[in-house]
């Protein structure tokens, strides 16, 4: 299968190491594209949840896929999020085509783009991190239950549902938080003179113009690979919000990847050895 040429691709909130991560689908998506620049906008590896010792082969293959993309010339920028905040001590590190940053400001075809994860707007992260972690564990459990429910619904011939989305849509506080998040990001971007602001964090894919008294900015959110399975792609002067299920990709075999799968212990050991070298 020929890969699609993409100038910029953006993914976020993959949460490798959690039960809710759709790693197999993400691997199929990444295998289908050939981006010049891949931006991972936070919460790629869920360091909060690594203590579960849950890191199956499908999750490892996503890491292998990223490494293969790097080896074939794709530039990868890893922007840190709240679930992988331990990597923020290495912000500014560059190794070949891979760089780790907290935010990214770049010009694309003459337009200023501001990329960052978005957890800086989250009050629970700033003042009650333990509460945010507890919420993350509850969310992971809800996603696991949701998978079981959807398997049963499909077996009965019914459509899939998203329990987490229903919870968010039914709670006024959650709806207000998402709205405030988007408006805050847009207002700062407008005041800074940026044309686009690109976030993750809230697992809510979006692409729309936001106008304030100071001007207009295009707000983009790449969504997640837990509920929505979405990404952003830029080509020929245009951004597009990509939904995995619209691509009709098959979960192909991975003979092109490394044959040996790393266990979680081996993976952690290799990451630690690498970080020790660059520290």
Per-residue pLDDT, 8: 98
The whole model's pTM is what?
0.80
Read off the tokens for 160: 């899939």
Dihedrals phi, psi of 215, to nearest 5 degrees: 150, -165
The count of C-alpha atoms lying within 13 angstroms of the C-alpha of 149, restricted to the half-sphere facing its C-beta, is 12
In this structure, what DSSP letter does residue 217 have?
A: E
Strand order in the sheet with 196-199: 103-108, 111-116, 196-199, 215-221, 206-212
Domains delineated in the chain:
4-278 (3.60.21.10)
Q: Mean per-residue pLDDT for 259-278? A: 51
> What's the pLDDT tens digit per position in 133-151?
434 455 555 566 666 555 5
Residue 188, classed as helix, strand or coil, is: helix
Per-residue pLDDT, 251: 66
How sure is the predictor about 119, in pLDDT bands with cuts at 50, 70 and 90? confident
Residue 23 near residue 11 (C-beta atoms within 8 A)? no
Per-residue pLDDT, 179: 77
Q: Mean per-residue pLDDT for 90-101? A: 93
Of 157 and 118, the one with more pLDDT: 118
Residue 202 near residue 224 (C-beta atoms within 8 A)? no
Residue 8 near residue 41 (C-beta atoms within 8 A)? no
Polymer length of the chain: 279
Our CA angle for 249, 252, 254, nearest 5°, is: 140
Q: Mean per-residue pLDDT for 51-58? A: 79
- Low-confidence winner among 76-80, 88-92, 96-100, 121-125 (lowest mean pLDDT): 121-125
> What's the pLDDT tens digit per position in 18-38?
888 999 999 999 999 999 999
Per-residue pLDDT, 70: 95
Residue 239, classed as helix, strand or coil, is: strand
Q: Mean per-residue pLDDT for 209-232? A: 96
> What's the pLDDT tens digit per position in 168-217?
555 445 556 677 889 999 999 999 999 999 999 988 999 999 999 999 99
pLDDT at residue 152 above 80? no
Q: Which helix (H) or strand (E) holds 77?
A: strand 75-79
Q: Mean per-residue pLDDT for 53-73? A: 91
pLDDT at residue 7 above 60? yes
Q: Which helix (H) or strand (E) holds 143?
A: helix 129-155
Our CA angle for 61, 64, 68, nearest 5°, is: 135
Per-residue pLDDT, 139: 56
How sure is the predictor about 127, in pLDDT bands with cuts at 50, 70 and 90? very low
The count of C-alpha atoms lying within 13 angstroms of the C-alpha of 264, restricted to the half-sphere facing its C-beta, is 15
């Amino acid at each position: 299968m020929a890969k699609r040429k993409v100038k910029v691709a953006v993914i976020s909130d993959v949460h490798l190491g959690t039960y809710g991560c759709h790693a197999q689908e993400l691997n199929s998506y990444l295998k289908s594209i050939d981006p010049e620049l891949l931006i991972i906008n936070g919460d790629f590896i869920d360091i909060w949840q690594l203590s579960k010792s849950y890191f199956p082969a499908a999750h490892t293959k996503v890491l292998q896929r990223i490494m293969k993309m790097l080896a074939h010339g794709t530039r990868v920028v890893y922007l840190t999020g709240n679930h992988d905040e331990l990597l923020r001590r290495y912000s500014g590190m560059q190794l070949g085509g891979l760089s780790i940053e907290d935010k990214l400001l770049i010009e694309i075809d003459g337009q200023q783009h501001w990329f960052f994860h978005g957890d800086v707007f989250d009050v629970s992260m700033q003042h009650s991190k333990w509460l945010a972690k507890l919420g993350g564990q509850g969310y992971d459990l809800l996603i696991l239950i949701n998978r079981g429910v959807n398997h049963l619904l499909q077996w009965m011939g019914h459509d899939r549902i998203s329990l987490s989305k229903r919870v968010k849509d039914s709670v006024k506080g959650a709806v207000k938080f998402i709205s405030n998040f988007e408006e805050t990001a847009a207002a700062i971007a407008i005041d800074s003179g940026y044309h686009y602001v690109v976030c993750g964090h809230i697992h809510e894919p979006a692409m729309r113009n936001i106008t304030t008294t100071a001007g207009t900015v295009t707000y983009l959110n790449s969504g997640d690979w837990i509920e929505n399975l979405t990404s952003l792609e830029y080509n020929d002067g245009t951004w597009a919000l990509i939904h995995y299920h619209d691509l009709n990709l098959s979960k192909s075999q991975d003979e092109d990847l490394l044959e040996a799968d790393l266990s979680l212990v081996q993976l952690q050991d290799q990451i630690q050895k690498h970080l020790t070298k660059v520290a």
